[in-house]
Amino acid sequence: MSAEKTNQSWGGRFSEPVDAFVARFTASVDFDKRLYRHDIMGSIAHATMLEQAGVLSAAERDAIIEGLTQIQGEIEAGQFDWRVDLEDVHMNIEARLTDRIGITGKKLHTGRSRNDQVATDIRLWLRDEIDTILAEITRLQQGLLAQAEQHAEVIMPGFTHLQTAQPVSFGHHLLAWFEMLSRDHERLVDCRTRVNRMPLGSAALAGTTYPIQREITCRLLGFEAIGGNSLDGVSDRDFAIEFCAAASLAMMHLSRFSEELVLWTSAQFNFIELPDRFCTGSSIMPQKKNPDVPELVRGKSGRVFGALMGLLTLMKGQPLAYNKDNQEDKEPLFDAADTLRDSLRAFADMVPAIKPRIEVMREAARRGFSTATDLADYLVRKGLPFRDCHEIVGHAVKYGVQSGKDLAEMSLDELRQFSDQITDDVFAVLTLEGSVNARDHIGGTAPNQVRAAVARGKALLAAR
């Protein structure tokens, strides 16, 4: 039976065509066709190198490049006929190239394999995705800096165990998210350096007998380094796993941020207002305004975590070199990148529009004895050991719970029943402003420190 009746890329060895179901089951074109631009980019670089190495003539190179450019135009115009029987994006494009320019199209695959071709395509694609994601992180951070600068003096309760702990600046709280995103940015930049290593030239697994010049394709494709081992070059998916790990951390951060936004928009907190365009209503409860964007981002974190676990499981039992298992690397990787990018975009659009309910935040900070630690620190400065001060303030709080008074609402006589070291200067430290302003060091919540942190953040973003 002829190769045309089996598969034109590899059918010579086979005596019967692949079962129709198996052909559909093993095909990847439905999802890997999104790699078309990077596949064509890699093929143009490969053809250029083959001509410089003397494998192709200049006329053959030009015909290939012109044909590939026209095919890209067909794809982007929605005029390309994707065929499942051709399995994947690579063979669909190569077959169309041969249709357009004849036998010269079949020469494009000289000195390479689909194994190193797909590994190259994925790295080129992921490199671009990382760049887009990094830009969205920066955009979100810009929004956080603007909000933090505007609200450096707005006071809210800080929490531990979701219990009121100490008063903090709203701007200071937002800058905690800025710090998390900075680490996410650093991880992705670092990940990108390992993504940006070229496997092309590894061929199927052992390299090629043709006189290829990998330095040329490396330069043309903008890779930072050439993969040093052909076996590893075709089978390595560490870079995809590493990306999913970095993406999982970023989504975990966004999920935590989402949880706070959901809490803060609830009637029980009422700390902030989200614009209507980021919320939805209820089909039966007309009063509802649901924070759907944060809730959905919180839920989508599981998709990215799943992609990481899936890729780790995919790779853990594979012997060298390439195996068909690796066809399963793309869908989770694509989904993880899409999910992170879209979640960041939603947050970057939403965060600048958040409106804090300043008086509600302030009133919440007044409740829960949030300045208790300040009273203990005050007594320490009077010369008492901290543990004794801790106990003294504990008794004062117990009295406050019983009497329904916050520490700042107690009279001097009421406070002095717990320690005669307390004098009328105590009220300066029991105010919310006094508490916040007292944390005046790098990383502290004092408004001038918040503004200094904003300045550092702006300088960081400007240097990227």
What structural domains and CATH numbers belong to the chain? 19-110 (1.10.275.10), 115-210+222-362 (1.20.200.10), 367-462 (1.10.40.30)
DSSP state letters, 11-30? GGG-SSPPPHHHHHHH--HH
449: DSSP letter: H
CA quadruple 71, 72, 75, 78: dihedral, nearest 10: -100
Asked if residue 173 lies in contact with residue 257, where contact means CB atoms within 8 angstroms, the answer is no
Token representation of residue 216: 């040329």
Token representation of residue 43: 């093929």
pLDDT at 2: 41
319: DSSP letter: P
Asked if residue 165 lies in contact with residue 370, where contact means CB atoms within 8 angstroms, the answer is yes
Asked if residue 450 lies in contact with residue 147, where contact means CB atoms within 8 angstroms, the answer is no
Taking 80 as the threshold, does the pLDDT of residue 280 lie above it?
A: yes
In whole angstroms, what is the distance from residue 261 CA to residue 323 CA?
A: 44
Return the ∠ at Cα 310 (arms to 308 and 313), rounded to 5°: 110
Phi first, then psi: what are they for 326, rounded to 5°?
Answer: -70, -10
Known active-site residue 282: yes
Please give the average per-residue pLDDT across 358-363, as a whole number: 96
In whole angstroms, what is the distance from residue 160 CA to residue 413 CA?
A: 31
| Catalytic member of 57, 266, 282, 403 | 282
Environment class of 77 (CB within 10 Å of its CB; exposed 0-12, middle 13-18, buried 19+): exposed
Closest C-alpha among 59, 117, 61 to residue 91: 117
Please give the average per-residue pLDDT across 307-324, as a whole number: 97
CA quadruple 445, 450, 453, 458: dihedral, nearest 10: 150
pLDDT at 179: 98
pLDDT at 9: 63
In whole angstroms, what is the distance from residue 397 CA to residue 405 CA?
A: 9
Token representation of residue 342: 């879209």
Q: In the chain, pLDDT over 90 holds for what percent of residues? A: 86
| Pairwise pLDDT comparison (23 vs 426), residue with the higher score | 426
How does strand 355-356 pair with strand 225-226? unpaired
Coil vs helix vs strand at 273: strand
Token representation of residue 271: 């700390």
Phi first, then psi: what are they for 253, rounded to 5°?
Answer: -65, -45
- Least reliable range by pLDDT among 231-235, 364-368, 395-399, 414-418: 364-368
What H or E segment, with its residue span, contains residue 235?
helix 230-235
Q: Given pLDDT bands bounded at 50, 70 and 90, which one contains residue 7? A: low
Known active-site residue 185: no
Q: Given pLDDT bands bounded at 50, 70 and 90, which one contains residue 428? A: confident
**At a CB cut-off of 8 Å and minimum separation 6, what does 152 contact?**
169, 171, 172, 447, 450, 451, 454
Please give the average per-residue pLDDT across 419-423, as a whole number: 93
Asked if residue 332 lies in contact with residue 242, where contact means CB atoms within 8 angstroms, the answer is no
Q: pLDDT of 194-248, one tens digit each?
A: 999 999 999 999 999 999 999 999 999 999 999 999 999 999 999 999 999 999 9
Please give the average per-residue pLDDT across 377-394, as a whole number: 93
Q: In the chain, pLDDT over 70 holds for what percent of residues? A: 97
pLDDT at 10: 58
Sign of torsion, CA 198 203 204 208?
A: negative
**What is the greatest pairwise CA distance in the chain?**
103
Q: pLDDT of 338-355, one tens digit each?
A: 999 999 999 999 999 999
In whole angstroms, what is the distance from residue 295 CA to residue 206 CA?
A: 49
| Catalytic member of 15, 161, 283, 411 | 161
Q: Given pLDDT bands bounded at 50, 70 and 90, which one contains residue 406? A: confident
Q: pTM (2 decimals)?
A: 0.92
Please give the average per-residue pLDDT across 253-257, as a whole number: 98
Please give the average per-residue pLDDT across 323-330, as a whole number: 96
Taking 50 as the threshold, does the pLDDT of residue 68 lie above it?
A: yes
What's CA 94's distance to the chain center, in Å?
Answer: 34
Please give the average per-residue pLDDT across 439-447, as a whole number: 97
In whole angstroms, what is the distance from residue 367 CA to residue 342 CA?
A: 38
Closest C-alpha among 43, 9, 62 to residue 112: 43
Please give the average per-residue pLDDT across 151-163, as a whole number: 96
In whole angstroms, what is the distance from residue 291 CA to residue 262 CA?
A: 6
pLDDT at 245: 98
pLDDT at 4: 44
Token representation of residue 107: 């020469």
Asked if residue 130 lies in contact with residue 191, where contact means CB atoms within 8 angstroms, the answer is yes
What H or E segment, with its residue span, contains residue 295?
helix 292-315
Taking 50 as the threshold, does the pLDDT of residue 1 lie above it?
A: no
Taking 80 as the threshold, does the pLDDT of residue 32 lie above it?
A: yes
